[in-house]
Chain A
Amino acid sequence: MIKFALLGAGRIGKMHANNIALNPLSDLEILYDINRNASKELSDIHNCKIAKSAEEAINNEKVDAVVISSATPTHIEYILLAAKANKAIFCEKPIDLDIKKVDQCKKDLKKYNVPIHIGFNRRFDLSHRSLKNAKDKGEIGDLEMIVISDRDAVAPSVEFLKNAGGLFRDKTVHDFDLTRFILGNKDPIVEIFAYGENLFCQSAKQTDDLDTAMFIMKSQSGILCHINNSRRAVYGYDQRIEILGSKGMIISDNQTPTSIKKFNKDMNKAEIPIYYFFQERYDQAYKHQLNIFIDCIINNKPTLVNFEDGRIALIIANAAYESLNTGKSVKIKYY
């Protein structure tokens, strides 16, 4: 039984708490949130202890693993505290929005030897995983193109956006990570072109951010990768992946909550809207991600998404901003 400390009882923290409770191999031992009401509410549901500080939660002797789902500026601090306390670490993306801080954290982590998992949950989605597995088995032959569409149903608020680091660091990082997941570690992304506009989103306008963006990346072997993002898709949370290879193509398509189809004088085979929110669309992915994390701890295996994956996603996002600002394709420097 892996005992967890949860830091951050917000939207995502609540979901992690629920998944920890549901998983037969884990237990929520203690939690901490800067907002005492949030802490109390969640601890009542899961019948766990409330810590008076993050340090108390992390250092609790029963705790094996720490889930960090607090505000981004606390991530590095909690990572290092947890590493020092020899706890396994699950940290929600991003590690931080400042690459210098991330690089420093990487250095500081060298003294410790704990499993660290960065929460890029989409890799654990059954549909996306099946696509990647089919590719790895050779079903589409040699990979040639990746096309990812990632669009929110509804744009986030000004409060959220002002601390999010911009579209590329907040949202597109998921797609950069997914691209790397599909390419595999032996074929890194070497070049990126990025462009975006603010076409409709008031909250993005107020925070000097973009709401619509497109990217083209090239891998070391020449594979071309396209990402397109939007902060608003009225028809739902659009999460499509398409891969083209020498032997065919595979698409991981959107999903609807039910499988009913409607036929009338106005339409043929109309389905209900796709899932609206990431919590629904990726419910199973979050649960599976936790499973894998627990498995890594119990069986002493390397985490499937590690600190370096988090660092690289940020590096790519920064290169994307450089491309946006210079109007050129940018070669990515990882070190």
Chain B
Amino acid sequence: MLKFSLLGVGRIGKMHAQNIAINPNCELEYVYDVNNPAAEKIAKEIDCKIAKSPEEAISSSNVDVVYIATATPTHIDYILQAANAGKAIFCEKPIDLDIKKVEACKKELEKYNVPVHIGFNRRFDPSHKSAKEAKDSGEIGKLEKIIITSRDPSPPGIDYLKDSGGMYRDMTIHDFDLMHYILGNDPIEKVFATGSILFDEDCKEINDMDTAMIVMRSRSGVLCHINNSRRAVYGYDQRVEIFGSKGMVISDNQTPSSLQKFTNKITKAQEPIHYFFIERYKEAYKIQLQVFIDNILNNKPTAVNFDDGRNALIVANGALESYQSGKFIKINY
């Protein structure tokens, strides 16, 4: 029975708390949040202790794992505290928005020997995973193209956006990681990225974008495309298309039910796809937790590690450099 401390019970933290509670292999020992009432609410629901400080949650001798779902600027601090306390670490993406801080953290972490998992949950989605497996098994032959479509239902608002690091580091970063997951041992080598502000006025204030397109080349020459939008009225669009010499697989969107409607105006119309990430990736988050637990219990390397988090940020920075220069940028890992 692994004992967890959960730091941060916002939107994502709450979901993690529930997943930890229902997983028979782990237990929530402590929650901590700067917002104490939020922590109290979770502690009551799940029957765990409330830590008075992150240090208390992290260094308690009862605790095996520290789960970091707090605001991004706290991530590195908590990672290093947890490493110093000998705890296994699960950290929500991103590690940090500043690559220099990430590098310094990486160096610092070399002193310790704790498992670190970065929360790129999409890898654990059964549908995306099957697509990747079709490629790994050779079913689609030699990989030639990957196309990822990733669109949010609505923009997050200026309060979120201004600290997010911008489209590539906040949103596309998931897709860069998914690309690496599919490519396997064939990293992204070059990136071209562009974007537009088409509907979200907030983006203008902070020099961000609401619509983006990226083309990349892997080391072996696989061509990769990502398109992002901060607003798809029809729902949270999460499609992955993998194309190879023997065929193509598409991991398509999902609807809550399998209802189809036929009237004098439409044929085979489904209800809208899942609205946002908590519904769409419900299973993925649970599976991710179980895989993390398995890795710790069996002393195996984490499925998504610190370097994966670092590499995704490096590609995101390359995308930004490309956008600013108009050039096809080579990525240096």
Contact = CB atoms under 8 A, between A and B. Distances in A.
B215 A212 contact: no
A110 interface: no
A197 B223 contact: yes
Given A200-B142, A233-B248, A327-B328, A224 B225 contact: no
A246 B199 contact: yes
Given A216-B192, A216-B194, A222-B197, A145 B227 contact: yes
Given A193-B194, A329-B192, A244 B229 contact: yes
Interface string B305-333: 00000000000000000000011100000
Interface in A172-220: 193, 195-197, 199-200, 212-216, 218
Interface string B247-289: 1100000000000000000000000000000000000000000
Given A144-B198, A200-B142, A193 B234 contact: no
Nearest to A327: B328
A142 interface: yes
Given A214-B223, A228-B225, A233-B243, A246 B231 contact: yes
B118 interface: no
B221 A199 contact: yes
Which 6 residue pairs across A and B have the least CB separation, nearest first? Answer: A222-B196, A329-B326, A327-B328, A197-B221, A214-B215, A224-B213
Contact of A197 (B212, B217, B227, B231): B217
B147 A228 contact: yes
B34 to A, nearest CB: 37
B165 interface: no
Interface of A: 142, 144-145, 147, 149, 151, 193, 195-197, 199-200, 212-216, 218, 222-224, 226, 228, 230, 232-235, 238, 244, 246-249, 327-329
A224 B237 CA distance: 17
B212 A224 contact: yes
Given A144-B229, A197-B223, A226-B225, 16 more contacts: A142-B198, A144-B198, A144-B211, A193-B192, A193-B215, A193-B326, A193-B328, A212-B145, A214-B225, A216-B214, A218-B196, A232-B245, A238-B248, A246-B199, A246-B231, A329-B327
A235 B139 CA distance: 13
17 contacts: A145-B227, A149-B147, A151-B243, A193-B328, A196-B223, A200-B142, A212-B223, A215-B215, A222-B198, A223-B198, A226-B215, A226-B225, A228-B147, A234-B246, A244-B151, A246-B199, A328-B326
Contacts of B232: 244, 249
B227 A147 contact: yes
B195 interface: yes
Contacts of B247: 234-235
B196 A224 contact: yes
A258 B211 CA distance: 37
B233 interface: yes
A317 B177 CA distance: 32
A213 B225 CA distance: 11
B144 interface: yes
Contacts of B212: 224
Contacts of B233: 246-248
Nearest to B217: A195
Contact of B243 (A230, A249, A327): A230
Contact of A216 (B198, B215, B221): B215
Contact of B227 (A151, A212, A226, A327): A226
A151 B212 CA distance: 23
Nearest to B323: A329
Interface in B145-179: 145, 147, 149, 151
A249 B198 CA distance: 15
B221 to A, nearest CB: 5
B309 to A, nearest CB: 26
